[in-house]
């Protein structure tokens, strides 16, 4: 059983780019691998860590936690790291790298119940599911399209763990729907919890609503026309917005799509991503006036991002003030190359080699 960390209580801007309300909740856990060889490789790297602390991800994702000191031999990888390149050239390369948000990983207490809610109420599809009884966890991947072209969700259920602490730092996920009112009514008929009724945002015309899944994760429903990426947002709270914006631009190669200050509600948001919001999944970073630190809990894990070169990516992260928690290179026993890092607020991301990721899906 995972120890649930007590949640800090502060009054912060709850979720999204438009509606405001406070409140935090609890949820679930994760790890992953593919065949026996992959599982052995991951176990080898994480053998000193209790299974209940693992972060859910497959070989293309990260292993887990902050500050993991995972020693591994990467013969010949040094030549690929481009450490001889100038900082300026490296950061220029980041802007040109072919990057895409691949999936977001988090933990849930009842996998079947969550899958039912996401498919029946939110319109997602169950893309794949796998049970690993010897490691006592089950993964499920859900989304609005195939993993090779869409941003998707990876859920993890750890045997016997039915609650997690979402903490105060995680905000919400965003889903674009064509009719928010109808979606809200459907969710109500299925017994879902609506925390903000459908209606236009204050001072605007965009129709939104907020709902919660069975574990308490918040979803913002955003009324929008047909879009190639319905799973469109992940909102995280940060302690210094300008610092975060610069980090995500330099280290992750994201664009600042827009920034808005709302002094009436004492928060500022920044939308960061690899393309326009109506066609791509984005990060919504939120700064609440005067709040510089948040409890992260043990429910939300990380985002995985595709890259053409994990070695250059790790160097760029270091140059930009981020912390690399897993040095770049292939996972033992398989060829998938990854690197894992933390942003200045401690939010975790895993960068996965684009070619290797597609091979895994095959």
Cβ–Cβ < 8 Å for 249, 255: yes
Closest CA to 331 of 352, 309, 305: 352
CA distance linking residue 28 with residue 106, whole number of Å? 7
CA distance linking residue 313 with residue 307, whole number of Å? 8
Q: Which helix (H) or strand (E) holds 138?
A: strand 137-143
10 Å CB burial of residue 84 (0-12, 13-18, 19+) is exposed
For residue 242 the two structure tokens come to 């300008």
In the sheet where 231-237 sits, what is the strand order?
193-200, 207-212, 218-223, 170-177, 231-237, 282-288, 267-273, 255-262
Q: Tell me, yes or no, if 220 is annotated catalytic.
A: yes
Count CB-CB contacts under 10 A for residue 148: 12
Buried b (16+ CB within 10 A) or exposed e, 212-244: bbbbbbbbbbbbbeebebbbbbbbbbbbebeeb
Is 66 annotated in a binding site? The answer is no
Is 172 annotated in a binding site? The answer is yes
Q: Which residue of the set 147, 212, 220, 360 is catalytic?
A: 220
Work out whether strand 348-353 and strand 300-307 pair parallel, antiparallel, or are unpaired.
Answer: parallel
Cβ–Cβ < 8 Å for 135, 39: yes
In the sheet where 137-143 sits, what is the strand order?
125-132, 137-143, 152-158, 100-107, 300-307, 348-353, 337-342, 323-330
CA distance linking residue 280 with residue 271, whole number of Å? 11
- The SS3 assignment for 87 reads helix
Is 223 annotated in a binding site? The answer is no
Give catalytic residue positions.
220
Residues in binding site for Zn(2+)? 154, 172, 220
Residues in binding site? 154, 172, 220
């Amino acid at each position: 059983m995972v120890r649930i960390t007590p949640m800090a209580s502060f009054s912060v801007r709850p979720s999204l780019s438009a509606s405001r309300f406070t409140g935090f909740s609890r949820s679930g856990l994760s790890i992953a691998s593919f065949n026996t060889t992959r599982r052995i490789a991951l176990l080898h790297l994480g053998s000193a860590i209790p299974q209940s602390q693992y972060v859910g991800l497959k070989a293309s994702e990260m292993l887990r936690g902050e500050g993991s000191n995972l020693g591994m031999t990467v013969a010949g990888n040094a030549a690929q790291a481009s450490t001889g390149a100038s900082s300026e050239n490296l950061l220029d390369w980041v802007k040109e790298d072919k990057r895409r948000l691949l999936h977001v990983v988090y933990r849930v207490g009842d996998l079947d119940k969550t899958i039912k809610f996401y498919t029946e109420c939110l319109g997602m599809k169950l893309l794949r599911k796998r049970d690993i009884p010897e490691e006592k966890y089950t993964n499920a991947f859900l989304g609005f399209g195939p993993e090779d072209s869409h941003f998707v969700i990876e859920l993890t259920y750890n045997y016997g763990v039915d609650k997690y602490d979402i903490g105060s730092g995680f905000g919400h996920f965003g889903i674009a729907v064509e009719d928010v009112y109808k979606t809200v009514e459907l969710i109500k008929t299925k017994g879902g919890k609506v925390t903000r009724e459908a209606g236009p945002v204050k001072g605007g015309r965009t129709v939104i609503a907020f709902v919660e899944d069975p574990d308490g994760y918040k979803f913002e429903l955003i009324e929008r026309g047909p879009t190639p990426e319905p799973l469109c947002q992940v909102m995280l709270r940060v302690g210094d917005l300008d610092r975060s914006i610069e980090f995500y631009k330099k280290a992750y190669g994201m664009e600042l799509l827009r920034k808005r200050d709302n002094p009436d509600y004492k928060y500022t948001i920044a939308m960061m991503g690899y393309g326009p919001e109506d066609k791509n999944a984005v990060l919504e970073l939120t700064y609440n006036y005067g709040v510089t630190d948040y409890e992260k809990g043990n429910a939300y894990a990380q985002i995985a991002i595709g890259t053409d070169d994990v070695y250059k990516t790790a160097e760029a992260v270091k140059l930009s003030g981020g912390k690399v928690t897993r040095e770049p290179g292939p996972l033992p026993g398989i060829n998938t190359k990854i690197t894992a890092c933390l942003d200045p607020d401690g939010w975790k991301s895993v960068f996965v080699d684009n070619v290797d990721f597609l091979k895994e899906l095959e």
